[in-house]
Structure formats: C-alpha cells, structure tokens
Amino acid sequence: MAPKDESPLLARLRVWSPRPRSGRGPAPAYSREQIADAAIAVAEADGLDAVTMRRVATELGTGAMSLYRYVENKEVLVELVSDRMYARHDWPELTGRWREDLRNFAWAHRRALRAHPWLLRVWNSGPTLGPNMLRHFESTVSIVDGLGLDIDDMVETVLLVLTWVGGYTRQELDTLTYLRAHSEDELERELGGHVRTVIDSGDYPYFTRFVSEARTPHIDEDARFARALDRILAGIEATLPSAGGG
C-alpha cells in the first residue's frame, strides 16, 4: 500500500520499481505491457476519457479489483500508456546529421500525435521515467551532442522542437475537428458577416491582407509544417556556439 501522504507523482513512478515476490501466491497474470496495451485499445476505440480501471479490466478479461493489484489508479494507468506508446511508435534511425535527425524526429512525433490525437493529453500529463521514454530521451538528446552545447542546452534544444511540434499539432487537430464539423455554408453564415465587417472598418490592415492575400489557407498542411520546422531549425543553428554541421 502507498503511504497516505504520498504524492500522485511518486505513485506514478513507483510502478516502474521491481515488483517484490514473496514466494507465496500466484505469479502476476498480466505484465505492464499487457495492461498498457489494453488501455491503449480502449483509448483508440473511445478516447482517453473511456480509459477507466473497470473498462481496462474488462478489456483484459478480469475484474476491476484484480487490476488494482497491478496499478493503483487511472493516473498510474496513464503512466503505463505514456511509456508504452514510445515503444509502439516507429522512430527514425539516426544519421549523425543533427538537422536531418531533429527534422526526422519532429515529423515522427507529429505522425504519432495525428494518428493518436488522445496522445496529446497523455504525453502532456506530467513527467514520466519509464524505460521506453528514457530510451527515447537518450536517443533524441544524443542528436545534439557534439555541437558545443552543455547538457542543459542540449535538453532545452530537443524540448524546444518537441514542445513546438506538440503545440503545432494540437492546433492542426483542433482546426481539422472544427472544419469537419461545419460545412462551407455554415462557416460563411457564422464567420462571413463578421469578417466583412472587420475588413470594412479599415482598422485592421494586416488582417485584411491575410484574408485577401495569404497563401496559408491554400497550401498543403505538410508543406506548412515543413516550412515552420525549417525556421525552428534555422533558429537553433543560428544560436549554436559552433557551425554544427548537418
């Protein structure tokens, strides 16, 4: 049992501690991976809110009380899911060229989030120190080794890219969700009149130019992401203490 005053974070991290075996009683029937996979199956089918102890237990073919032998609560369950998804996603092989490798990891991160939108909440639910996440951390931070950065700057650089990808992808998905829920006629009814009023006021010249001139609504989503990512990488390169290669 966990101490009464134990923080939720410590409860989440304790799931990675070796399980004590007294020699008495049956061996555990489910591995961490099996439990995480069951929770992922629920999230894929019905979203993260559907991931409850009872629902995951049903997915495993057991009772909710049995599941509590392995995980204490939903927060710990999400911890297992978060780490497991790092193992289930395909990450690119490193080339040794930092710009190419950071670019490849950014694209892979975006693919994971777009394929599993509920992951945005999981990977933003707090720090995790599971083995798969730690291997991912080691791999991504190694990309910027040898560029003259200390360890703080190395981690900050990687987090800059991955945090930007998360925010960018969240906005992409929110926009897609809105557009899919509204027809062009509905959008015209809801937005058209107000937009015309704003433009006709003459008070917002840049907004007017954006509506009338901008390419943004007409370019491919992937092309827009690529251009923005190039700017991020160029900014990183401009602040390196050395040329950095790649």
Please say if the pLDDT value at position 22 is more than 60: no
Residue range(s) occupied by CATH 1.10.357.10 in the chain: 91-181+215-239
Determine the pLDDT at residue 184. 80
Q: How far apart are CA 92 and CA 95, in angstroms?
A: 9
Query: Span 106-117, mean pLDDT?
Result: 97
Mean pLDDT of the chain: 89
Kindly state the tokens that stand for 58. 């049903």
SS3 state of residue 41: helix
Question: What is the CATH T-level fold of the domain 91-181+215-239, as seen in this structure?
Answer: Tetracycline Repressor; domain 2 (1.10.357)
Query: Span 48-70, mean pLDDT?
Result: 93
Determine the pLDDT at residue 27. 59
Q: Nearest Cα to 167, choosing from 225, 240, 88, 206?
A: 225
pLDDT band, residue 188 (cuts 50/70/90): confident
Nearest-5° Cα angle at 13, 10 to 17: 115
Determine the pLDDT at residue 10. 76
Residue range(s) occupied by CATH 1.10.10.60 in the chain: 28-86
- The percent helix, strand, coil of the chain (3-state, each to 5) is 65, 0, 35
Which tens digits make up the pLDDT trace of 208-220? 998 888 776 667 8
> Which own/partner pairs from 170-175 qualify as long-range (CB within 8 Å, at least 24 positions apart)?
170/113, 170/120, 172/114, 172/221, 172/225, 173/113, 173/114, 173/117, 173/120
29: Cα within 13 Å, side-chain hemisphere: 11
Please say if the pLDDT value at position 104 is more than 90: yes
Task: Confirm or reject CATH 1.10.10.60 for domain 28-86, answering yes or no.
Answer: yes
pLDDT band, residue 206 (cuts 50/70/90): very high
Query: Span 102-130, mean pLDDT?
Result: 92
Determine the pLDDT at residue 20. 58
Q: How far apart are CA 125 and CA 84, in angstroms?
A: 14
Query: Span 35-50, mean pLDDT?
Result: 97
Nearest-5° Cα angle at 48, 43 to 51: 75
Q: Would you tell me the crossing angle of helices 98-115 and 151-181 to the nearest 10 degrees?
A: 40
